[in-house]
Amino acid sequence: MSYLMGIDYGTGGAKATIIDEQGSVLGYSFAEYEIINEKADWSEHDPREYWEVACKIIQEAINDAGINPGEIKGIGTSSALPSTVLIDEEGEPINRAYNLLDRRATKEVEYLEDKFGKDRIFEITANRLDDQPAVVKLLWEKRNRPEDFARIDKVLTIDGYIRYKLTGKATMHYSAGIFYGLAYDIRQLRFRNDMLEEIGIDPEIFPPGSPCTEIVGKVTEKAAKETGLVSGIPVPGGQVDCNAAWLGAGATQPGDIQMNLGTCGNFGIIHNDEQFMEKMFAFPYTTNSRETYITVPTTLTGGLLLRYMRDNFSPIELSVEKKLDLDAYDLLTLEASEVKPGSEGLIVLPYFQGERTPIWDVNARGVIFGLSLSHGKKHVVRAMMESVAYALYDSFRLVKDIREINYPLVLNEGGAESRLWRQIITDVFNVPTVLVKNRVGAPYGDAVLAGVATEIFPDFSVTRDWVEYTGHLEPDQKNHKLYMEYFKVYKNIYEHVKEDFVDLAELRKIRSDL
């Protein structure tokens, strides 16, 4: 038998899975790691923990599958982006890694937009510039930690770092290019060296790009010894985590739409044309990373909101989880299900770490509006779930008028497992939805990528044959009408306080400088 492995790194943890030639999942492992918020607007990981976790979940997945690691014929990788891991000439990380929640580089964005112009940046990248791509972080490093900046040999994503540890080679897949930002030409699939040189960044610190399906290296003897793998296993270029999740669940054709409720909340629509939207993300899609794209509206805090409630306000649920083997998230959503749509007049702005599409506001923060003595935690939890639906609908109402969409909307990873959350999204979006039955998610798509790259699978269409959908839901028109009234208030709240967010950001800055 031939087996394939997929490894995915999110903002809060990593997963590994093993599948066979029929797409059946044989082994799986997951491990969380710490999100470090040492300063306001900073969000980091310890990059050394990435490899420690890799060694753990790879071995656990092999043991769970009960296979000989010598029968693994390929390993696919992905990670949440933007993310930035800086390494020196010895391959050692320089400081902590940036994850996609980090918002420190706002001054650098202003400088770059003044220097190059917003229109030029969008024309080259098909994306607007914010403070998260790697090039922006590099400029922050250059200005604030020049000695460390001078030590940089290569700039990697999280999945790029894992491929580096597996193969000893620094690589970058085409779908990651725009997450490096600013000077990456989405059509030419290369960096504009002239722009990099204008801001004093050496183009040589960026790894070479490759199609997602191209074999870029093989597992080294050192990596094999540390992980329990065998040397020589082919490793393809890799992919963005959301692409991995969606193609693994059958999204392979233009118009296909899927949604994740992982740390972030997002959905993607596949297309072959270059009709890019200024307020949305767009990047190459794995099935043909030279010519196919996906538009991906994103809210920064999706499932992360429930993790926030679990970790900070749910000691009872966590205690029950440990003692009775009941999931704390299930307990929270069970409590929230007792509350009627609209959360009895409670509205949340879910911008706990700023927001992406469509408002692109780095200063925005969370708001709980309408709180009264009649509200309890269950109301707050439901209002947070509804807020993620509102944030995603804010983009969906713009995208649906531009693109043809193949319904139903397929819900995939993370919080999509919650029937309550799926019904909220179904009612807010006013479209039919289904749930992927096999919710292994991104690492499954990574394993499929490895199968296509090694020609074990003829192409990605195999996932359409394997995928099963369940939990079909239709929108409740009464609830949709109610939610649209709440959505108007949701939008008005943001308009009323967005200038206050700017003032608050200035106060945070003053405080952090003291």
* Confidence class for position 415, pLDDT limits 50, 70, 90: confident
pLDDT of residue 263: 82
Pick the range with the lowest mean pLDDT from 232-236, 311-315, 414-418: 414-418
Which candidate, 450, 480, 505, places its Cα nearest to that of 217? 450
pLDDT 10s digits, 471-500:
999 999 999 999 999 999 999 999 999 999
Q: What share of the chain is helix, strand, coil (3-state, %, to 5)?
A: 45, 20, 35
Q: Is the pLDDT of residue 246 over 90?
A: yes
Ordered DSSP codes for 335-390: HHTTSPTTTTT-EEE--BTBB-TTT-BTT---EEES--TT--HHHHHHHHHHHHHH
Look up the pTM and report it. Answer: 0.94
Read off the pLDDT of each residue in 424-439 and give the average, rounded to a whole number: 95
- Give the whole-angstrom CA distance, residue 270 versus residue 83: 23
- The CA-atom distances, in angstroms, between 60 and each of 81, 222, 447 are 25, 19, 16
Q: Is the pLDDT of residue 161 over 90?
A: yes
Q: Is the peptide bond before 236 cis (omega within 30 degrees of 0)?
A: no
% of the chain at pLDDT higher than 90:
91
Other C-beta atoms lying within 10 Å of the C-beta of residue 70: 12
Residues 306 and 325 sit within 8 Å (Cβ to Cβ): no
Q: What is the DSSP letter of 440?
A: -
pLDDT of residue 326: 92
Residues 179 and 283 sit within 8 Å (Cβ to Cβ): yes
Cβ neighbours for 193, distance < 8 A, ≥ 6 positions apart = 183, 203
Read off the pLDDT of each residue in 95-110 and give the average, rounded to a whole number: 94
pLDDT 10s digits, 186-230:
999 999 999 999 999 999 999 999 999 999 999 999 999 999 999
CB burial of residue 257 (10 Å; 0-12, 13-18, 19+): buried
- Give the whole-angstrom CA distance, residue 486 versus residue 350: 14
Domains present along the chain, CATH in parentheses: 3-241 (3.30.420.40), 251-300+396-477 (3.30.420.40), 304-386+488-513 (3.30.420.40)
Residues 129 and 181 sit within 8 Å (Cβ to Cβ): yes
Q: Is the pLDDT of residue 14 over 70?
A: yes
Which residue matches tokens 């074999």?
215
Q: Is the pLDDT of residue 252 over 60?
A: yes
pLDDT of residue 512: 64
Round the average pLDDT of the chain to a whole number and report it.
96
pLDDT of residue 213: 98
- φ and ψ of 396, to 5 deg: -60, -40
Cβ neighbours for 400, distance < 8 A, ≥ 6 positions apart = none
Q: Is the pLDDT of residue 513 over 70?
A: no
Q: Is the pLDDT of residue 514 over 60?
A: no
Other C-beta atoms lying within 10 Å of the C-beta of residue 237: 28
Q: Is the pLDDT of residue 439 over 90?
A: no
Q: Is the pLDDT of residue 258 over 80?
A: yes
Q: Is the pLDDT of residue 178 over 90?
A: yes
pLDDT of residue 438: 83
- Give the whole-angstrom CA distance, residue 139 versus residue 195: 13
